[in-house]
Amino acid sequence: MRAVAGCLAVAAAVHAAPAALFVPAVRTALAPGLSGRGDPGHVALTFDDGPHPRATPAVLDVLDRYRVRATFFVLGRELARFPALGQEITGRGHEVAVHGWDHRCLLRRGPAGVYDDLVRTVEVIRRTTGARPRRVRAPYGVFSAASLPAARRLGLAPVLWTCWGFDWTRTATPASVTARVQRGLAGGGTILLHDSDVAGAPGCWRSALGALPALLEHCRERGLSVGPLNEHRDDRCTFPAPSAHPWLPSAPCPQTSDVIGPWS
């Protein structure tokens, strides 16, 4: 029984090991590309958890005013509910990427469940927008040992962020979001905001929306261009070799065909 318990403990530790990459210092040391670092004169602007019937159009309008494009990491379930919003995102020139189907933590799923989750989201994005996504961000920023190989199989480059606004909380305000992002912002970084409240406090998206003009002005004042991840960095997975860290995929990510397997 002790041997079985020991094996189970080891398996659980291996499964959860990539979750450590959520910690900025850990991913800087082991997988710097995962933070979304790119051109030092550019900042990538990203939004999670949408599309949302009120938040997403409002965010798109602000981005239009500033002539800025961004990357939207969408939930497959929400895109299936609001397909016209997905079409509007791409129609206005923005990038759509994968954030999972329903914001369930990937640590709670095995390899088959994780793959099904990602492939369902990839397929609904492709059907809805006509564009095949090329990037994935795990819900809560927590990848698992099963999710990284699944992403590689689907040709999805995992990306997290370098700074965020804590805009999903009940106490967030435009001022607090602006201040928190600015503290962590540097050229070549990736900003995380949210255009939805499906995984946060009700109405929390208003704090990100209110902060957005100030953040864009701040980037302009610093001489930093702002845009989506597809203008920020290449599509290679900059991870260590599997021999060093078996739970990380090797680089680079292969280009895959448009044939995606069935899901449950």
- The pLDDT tens digits for 107-127 are 878 889 999 999 999 999 999
CA distance 1 to 88: 56
User: Residue 221 and residue 200: Cα distance in Å, rounded?
Assistant: 31
Residue with tokens 């992403």: 151
Angstrom CA distances, 142 to 104, 115, 136, 186, stand at: 10, 15, 11, 23
Of 15, 42, 99, 194, which is the active-site residue? 194
- pLDDT of residue 14 exceeding 70, the answer is no
99 is catalytic: no
- How high is the pLDDT of residue 83? 98
Question: What pLDDT score does 18 carry?
Answer: 53
Write down all domains in the chain, each with its CATH number in brackets.
36-231 (3.20.20.370)
Considering the candidates 15, 48, 94, 117, report the single residue annotated as catalytic: 48
Residue 210 has pLDDT above 80, yes or no: yes
114-137 b/e (C-beta count within 10 Å ≥ 16 → b): bbbbbbbbbbbbeebbeebbbbbb
Q: Above 80 in pLDDT, residue 46? A: yes
**Where are any strands of DSSP class E within the chain?**
42-48, 71-74, 95-98, 135-136, 157-158, 163-164, 190-194, 225-227
Say what the pLDDT of residue 8 is. 26
pLDDT band at 71, cuts 50/70/90? very high
Q: Is the pLDDT of residue 57 over 80?
A: yes
Q: How confident is the model at residue 239 (pLDDT cuts 50, 70, 90)?
A: very low
Contact present, 60 and 185 (Cβ < 8 Å): no
Check if 194 is active-site: yes
**Residue 91 pLDDT more than 50?**
yes
The CA distance from 254 to 12, in Å, is 28
pTM: 0.83
Condensed to tens digits (0 to 9), the pLDDT of residues 176-206 reads 999 999 999 999 999 999 999 999 999 999 9
CB 35 within 8 A of CB 158: no
Mean pLDDT of all residues in 229-235: 75
